[in-house]
Structure 1
Amino acid sequence: MASGKQGRQQQRQRKQRVILVAAVVLLVVVIALIAGLTTFLKKYSSSKERADYTTHYNLSQEDEMFVIFDNEQMEQKGIVQDDEVYVDYQIVHKYLNKRFYWDSTEQVLRYVTPDGLINTTVDTASYTLGKDAQTADHIIAIQRDGEMYLSMSFVKEYTDIHYEYYTDPNRVVISDQWDEVTYQSIKKKTEIREKGGVKSPILADVKKGDLVTVLDTAGSWSKVCSQDGFIGYVKTKALGGEQDVLYDHNFTEPVFSHISKDKTINMAWHQVTNQSANANVADVLGKTKGVNVISPTWFYLNDDQGGIASLCNQAYVTYCHQQGVEVWGLVSNLENQDVDDTSVFSVTSSRDNLVNNLVAEAIKFDLDGINLDFELLPAEAADGYLEFIRELSIKCENNDLVLSVDNYVPASYNSYYDRAEQAVFADYVVVMAYDEHYNGSDEGSVASIGYVQQGIADTLEEVPAEQVILGIPFYTRVWELTPVDESNPSDDEAANERGYTISSEAVGMSEVDTRVAANEVTLQWLDDCGQYYAEYEYDGKTYKIWVEDQKSIGEKLDVMKDNHLAGASFWKLGYEKNTIWDTIVEYMNAE
């Protein structure tokens, strides 16, 4: 009996152990399932983490803000001060309105309007417009850590933009887009996240019906910009249809007046390098026909403070006026290589001195205009140079002086000359359609017809035809090709490779005739160049000339006529044959 009882007890114990083991196994399975489900949910469920705005937008101070312009976050920041929004000058100048000009050296802010020049400094609401004192509603410009920030309400007075300021975080959303702007609506409540993916922190919540601009779509996520300036990612399936929003505005673009001659301009540059050369004006003009503007090379930059050297001569001007010829004095930066162009144009006091010196000379000697010939300017001088043109234009207009600006043919490397902006302020833009090939380049034409045509076509994309003067050369280059002595190679590797060195000299039309005749050359007409071509051998060297004559000049004047330009100008007097003026007068009278 005891043995049977003990057996039953052992069976119960075994069952209990089995149940216990099963319970433990079940518990382990449940724990594993819970852990797996937790991992699954953690991996695939949407994060509720909110973005840290201070870190995400790198806002180090409480009054800092980030700036959105046309759905792009700017690198520079803004500042909120006394309930006014201030934006970094670099943003204003590059994206909103390039006519705001800040001189960081002398701490002066300038802006040219049709009513005059605005002048102010930092930390003041006061400014001058021309000679009149004015006061803005807020401080116009503030400075922090070496950077200048401009009042957006002041900027908006002169700029075709609209903007909104938001808090939490501080931000300003600026746009220059008007009329109909296309958005996409949000079709269900969702979030804009820092990056594509449900685990990325949330930047902002958006609700059904909110509008966003879609910047990019890649699979299940789309990069968007909300109307209040959050740029991030939403699920593509949350986007609805397109919706157009109409923005109205009442901004009136400023209109700057111009002096426009009611005649086709027949202008010629007269190179004058000393006072005694002025006495030759009667002889020089006497060989021309139909010239109504002469531009003597009278001025050049002479120091970094805006000082100029002047070769003005009253007898010269008086004689020209007696002949019915206007005098537009030329100012250049090529004579004194010690002058720092960038400093002259970027520093306010130097720029003011240059403007005042030029206008004072023009008034003193009764000039009719000023012709700017600033060449080889570095890119860093461009902003200051354009501001110089703006400010000079005010003084020229007030004194009835024609302002013309000489330019290269447009190319990517000189785009910073900004002919479109020049044309807003200058009366005429002159295209120097020559130096296609120059001393130091490979041999070729100085001004082939294709080069001239393309130069004018590209200029007309920026400048109205009635303001364009075509610059035409009276000179050509005689190219001298000297074989390289294989036993004594040149230091010029390119010359060694092609087998000859190249040099050239600029000569006038009569000199070309002399050389062609002396070497008994038969000229060959080149349709693609619109010029005659001469080539001959002399003393073991090869000479090449792309000839300028009546026919080639006529082809260039056709470009002037066909494009209804304001006229033409010729470099330089003394290089031409007298007979060329018959061709020029024929075209000028036809215009």
Structure 2
Amino acid sequence: MLLIILVAVAGIVTGFIKKYTPSDTRMELADYYHTGEGEAALILQDTISEAKGKIVDGRAYLPYSVITNEMGGRFYWDKESEKMLYTTATDTLEIKPEDTAYTIAGQTKQQDYILVKEIGEEFYIALDFVEQYMPIQGEVYDKPDRIVVSYKWGDINTVSVSKDTEVRYQGGIKSPILSDVKKGDTLILLEEMENWSRVMTTDGIDGYVEKKNLEKPQTTELSYTGEYKEDYSSLTREHKINLAWHQVTSEAANAALGETIQNMAGVNVISPTWFSVTANEGTISSLASADYVNEAHSRGMEVWGLIDNFNPDVSTLETLSSRSSREHIIQKLLEEAQRVALDGINVDFEALTEEEAPHFIQFVRELSVVCRANNLVLSVDNPVPQFTGFYNRKEQGIVADYVIIMGYDEHTTGSEEAGSVASLPFVKEGIEKTLQEVPKEKVINGIPFYTRLWTESNNGTLSSEVMTMDAASQYIQENGIEVYWEKETAQNYGELLTDNGTQKIWLEDEQSIEEKMKLISQYELAGVASWKLGFERADVWSVISQYLQ
């Protein structure tokens, strides 16, 4: 009996010891990072990337796709020339894969390592070279090979180690050990739990440490200490911009400028729709008129000529993905700008796809170089940021002078239901999301001068027609439509029951425009843009001007 009791006690003690004794099993880091031969784990800030880097001849290389898509780099692979491009504020450098030299401003600069490598279907750019042209800093570690890259700067949550301990794969003493940390080491704090904290070590290991071995969390500033500096000067104006888009489709419209603007007041920029891409090779049509510019200048207005991609026979993807086509567009725009003495270029490329977007951004970069060198203001029109993050407004806000929100078309042709052209919540959301990427002194909000009259027919179809401010008011009066102020949209709303169905209208008038102008003032934006000239009532100009002082 005594022997049985002793064996039982021994078993209990052994089980207790096993349960509460930390495991000393170590996980192989190559298995942890899932790296194969020739691969280097890639740690971006505090996240282990699924993508892998390369170590070639002792030098670290980062995937081009990661640099551009995740880190915001402005390197660009040009298929036509088969070169890696990088556009600075003043020029574009060119790199041939497997070369140790690059060309910029007609000069060749030599390095002692290969700058761009093509491995499989991916391009890899040398970390040392990337650090010259981006505000990033990288560290390379071995056993196994891994590259830790910092590219986001500012406050981070950190925690100090209070006693020598281990970083484990999961939160538990039986989990395998990934690494040892010593008293005084600083770790990035990723997540706090009851007894464990998830941390990232300086050498890129994401794991768990017992909280009893850590000091209290604190905020630490992560500062960039490299040599790269953004050098993008801007031609932003000291005054608020009051821009009116002028739809010009003929020489006659140019000649009628004086009549068109006779009741206009407060506008300091007019943007005529003069240029359009007409072929995939980058040819453009032009209605640019020196007489028009001279008249606008005499009335105290700058002229920013607009270029669009509205030709249905032209492929935006094919055009912008070709360097020669981009260069042709830019050269022709410059020639026309110099011929008629333009003050700026307004880019209005709409309905871009995610595939087209990187080529569009490269076009904007290359155009910005020419505009900057020739004292031309560059502005870029963007839809309200809903499902269009690929427009890369952050990059636009760096290389262009103004980013314009087209704060309308909330409901338009093809919408599934009737609704406002630009309700106040829609406009507000567009401003707030744009300001997350672009500084307020570069953001202009576009407002509509048009209203849509919607008809919900008895057979279930939905249609709409565009109306000017005066036409909408006249229609309401002639049909006896009673309107009331709809607080949610910040617009006057009315309905009309007809034999064919129900008509609905959300008015854009002086009252609704004023609510939008209050937002522009509240968020201290750079100004307002109005679509389009000729659709407004004269009284609206005084409403706009009072919020742009």
Q: Report the TM-score, using the length of structure 2 for normalisation.
A: 0.84
Structure 2 residue matching 1:173: 3-state secondary structure: strand
1:320 maps to what in 2? 296
| Paired AA for residue 556 in structure 1 | K
Assess, with a 3 A threshold, how the Cα gap between structure 1 residues 156 and 509 changes in structure 2: closer, same or farther: same
Q: Which is higher, the Rg of structure 1 or of structure 2?
A: 1
Name the one with the larger helix percent: 1
| Range with greater deviation from structure 2 (141-150 or 522-531) | 522-531
| Range with greater deviation from structure 2 (446-455 or 414-423) | 446-455
Q: Is residue 573 of structure 1 aligned with residue 533 of structure 2?
A: yes
Residue from 549, 552, 570 that aligns with 2:512: 552
Cα shift readout 1:487-542 (whole Å, capped 9, x = no counterpart): xxxxxxxx3xxxxx321100112322332232233443444444333333444433
| Paired AA for residue 331 in structure 1 | I
Q: Deviation at 1:371?
A: 0.8
2:278 maps to what in 1? 302
| Paired AA for residue 416 in structure 1 | F
Structure 2 residue matching 1:91: 3-state secondary structure: helix
1:438 maps to what in 2? 412
Cα shift readout 1:537-565 (whole Å, capped 9, x = no counterpart): 44443322222333333343343344443
Matched-pair contact (CA < 8 Å) for 1:549–1:580: no
Q: Report the Cα distance in structure 1 between the residues aligned to 2:189 and 2:464, rounded to whole angstroms.
A: 58
1:76 maps to what in 2? 51
Q: Is residue 99 of structure 1 aligned with residue 58 of structure 2?
A: no
Structure 1 residue matching 2:350: 3-state secondary structure: coil
Q: Report the Cα distance in structure 2 between the residues aligned to 1:248 and 1:450, rounded to whole angstroms.
A: 37
1:498-577 maps to which residues of 2 (within 5 A)? 501-577=461-537
Matched-pair contact (CA < 8 Å) for 1:74–1:91: no
| Paired AA for residue 257 in structure 1 | S
Cα shift readout 1:36-68 (whole Å, capped 9, x = no counterpart): 99999999988776655555544433x432122
1:583 maps to what in 2? 542
Matched-pair contact (CA < 8 Å) for 1:554–1:583: no
1:267 maps to what in 2? 243
Cα shift readout 1:236-279 (whole Å, capped 9, x = no counterpart): 66667769888665346414211123444332212123444433
Structure 1 residue matching 2:161: 3-state secondary structure: strand
1:419 maps to what in 2? 393
Matched-pair contact (CA < 8 Å) for 1:67–1:78: yes
Q: Deviation at 1:304?
A: 3.1
Assess, with a 3 A threshold, how the Cα gap between structure 1 residues 42 and 303 changes in structure 2: closer, same or farther: farther
Q: Deviation at 1:372?
A: 1.2
Matched-pair contact (CA < 8 Å) for 2:157–2:189: no
Matched-pair contact (CA < 8 Å) for 2:89–2:368: no
2:257 maps to what in 1? 281
Cα shift readout 1:139-195 (whole Å, capped 9, x = no counterpart): 22111112111111122223333322222222222224567762342734x655556
Q: Report the Cα distance in structure 2 between the residues aligned to 1:466 and 1:549, rounded to whole angstroms.
A: 27
Gaps of 5+ in 1: 1-25, 27-33, 485-494, 496-500
Structure 1 residue matching 2:367: 3-state secondary structure: helix
Assess, with a 3 A threshold, how the Cα gap between structure 1 residues 71 and 548 changes in structure 2: closer, same or farther: closer
2:338 maps to what in 1? 363
2:373 maps to what in 1? 398
Assess, with a 3 A threshold, how the Cα gap between structure 1 residues 86 and 186 changes in structure 2: closer, same or farther: farther
Q: Report the Cα distance in structure 2 between the residues aligned to 1:569 and 1:421, rounded to whole angstroms.
A: 21
Q: Deviation at 1:404?
A: 1.1
1:111-150 maps to which residues of 2 (within 5 A)? 111-150=86-125
Assess, with a 3 A threshold, how the Cα gap between structure 1 residues 552 and 202 changes in structure 2: closer, same or farther: closer
Structure 2 residue matching 1:479: 3-state secondary structure: strand
Structure 1 residue matching 2:279: 3-state secondary structure: coil
1:7 maps to what in 2? none
Matched-pair contact (CA < 8 Å) for 1:85–1:151: yes
Q: Deviation at 1:82?
A: 3.3
Q: Is residue 162 of structure 1 aligned with residue 137 of structure 2?
A: yes
Q: Report the Cα distance in structure 2 between the residues aligned to 1:382 and 1:586, rounded to whole angstroms.
A: 35
1:152 maps to what in 2? 127
Matched-pair contact (CA < 8 Å) for 1:186–1:212: no
Structure 2 residue matching 1:380: 3-state secondary structure: coil
Q: Deviation at 1:118?
A: 2.9
Residue from 311, 314, 320 that aligns with 1:345: 320
| Range with greater deviation from structure 2 (365-374 or 556-565) | 556-565
Structure 2 residue matching 1:394: 3-state secondary structure: helix
Identity of aligned residues (%): 39
Matched-pair contact (CA < 8 Å) for 1:194–1:200: yes
Gaps of 5+ in 2: 4-9
Question: Aligned residues, how many?
Answer: 542
Structure 2 residue matching 1:123: 3-state secondary structure: coil
Q: Deviation at 1:83?
A: 3.0
Matched-pair contact (CA < 8 Å) for 1:186–1:206: no
Structure 1 residue matching 2:368: 3-state secondary structure: helix
Matched-pair contact (CA < 8 Å) for 1:96–1:159: no
1:466 maps to what in 2? 441
Matched-pair contact (CA < 8 Å) for 1:330–1:371: yes
Structure 2 residue matching 1:451: 3-state secondary structure: helix
Assess, with a 3 A threshold, how the Cα gap between structure 1 residues 364 and 539 changes in structure 2: closer, same or farther: same
Matched-pair contact (CA < 8 Å) for 1:183–1:245: no
Q: Deviation at 1:370?
A: 0.9
RMSD in angstroms over aligned alpha carbons? 3.8
1:455 maps to what in 2? 430
Assess, with a 3 A threshold, how the Cα gap between structure 1 residues 452 and 215 changes in structure 2: closer, same or farther: closer
Q: Deviation at 1:407?
A: 2.0
Q: Deviation at 1:476?
A: 0.7
Assess, with a 3 A threshold, how the Cα gap between structure 1 residues 285 and 522 changes in structure 2: closer, same or farther: same
Matched-pair contact (CA < 8 Å) for 1:184–1:214: no
2:7 maps to what in 1? none
Residue from 283, 304, 311 that aligns with 1:336: 311
Matched-pair contact (CA < 8 Å) for 1:468–1:566: yes
Matched-pair contact (CA < 8 Å) for 1:476–1:545: yes
Matched-pair contact (CA < 8 Å) for 1:265–1:566: yes
1:366-385 maps to which residues of 2 (within 5 A)? 366-385=341-360
Matched-pair contact (CA < 8 Å) for 2:244–2:271: yes
Matched-pair contact (CA < 8 Å) for 1:299–1:308: yes
Q: Report the Cα distance in structure 2 between the residues aligned to 1:36 and 1:247, rounded to whole angstroms.
A: 50
Q: Report the TM-score, using the length of structure 1 for normalisation.
A: 0.79
Cα shift readout 1:101-131 (whole Å, capped 9, x = no counterpart): 3335643223333453333232223223344
Assess, with a 3 A threshold, how the Cα gap between structure 1 residues 218 and 302 changes in structure 2: closer, same or farther: same
Matched-pair contact (CA < 8 Å) for 2:157–2:188: no
Assess, with a 3 A threshold, how the Cα gap between structure 1 residues 281 and 128 changes in structure 2: closer, same or farther: same
Q: Report the Cα distance in structure 1 between the residues aligned to 2:255 and 2:291, rounded to whole angstroms.
A: 8
